[in-house]
Amino acid sequence: MPRLYREAPLASIWEGSGNVMSLDVLRALTRAPRSLEVFFDELQQAHGANAQLDASVLKLKDQFSDPATLETRARRVVESMALCLQGSLLVRSAPAAVADAFCASRLAGDGGLEYGTLPAGVDFDAIIARSQVHL
């Protein structure tokens, strides 16, 4: 009974806290429209460093072209924002093997449903060597 009572407020939330966070991001962008421009300026700093990231950023910009359905697509749009930002930060500050593996697995559309699913051609040796440096 205590667990049911504790979770009762969640029943009124549309599909749980993930969607609430996504809707909050969209509300924040609506309240401060310049923040979306600043976000894309941040992503722009990595432009040209990875073709998969560049394509994902263009696709993300397209997701904002239909504001009428933005709320129903909130979770996917905000997820794309997070992935593009992660890719941008990695391309700018991580070793190329790590950034390329992330972009290939999370942005290129062939990441599978499991984290850690990497396509052929990723520099596994460099990633493994990097992880063993601190051992």
Determine the longest span between alpha carbons in the chain, in angstroms.
56
Q: Nearest to residue 89, comparing CAs of 35, 44, 25? A: 44
Question: Token pair of 106, please?
Answer: 């999370």
User: In this predicted model, what pLDDT tens digit does every residue of 62-75 receive, in sequence order?
Assistant: 999 998 999 999 99
Q: Annotate 27-65 with b (16+ C-beta within 10 A) or e (fewer).
A: eebeeeeeebeebeeebeebeebbebbbebbeebeeeee
Could you give the percent of the chain with pLDDT greater than 70?
81
Question: Token pair of 28, please?
Answer: 């924040």
Q: Whole-model pTM?
A: 0.79
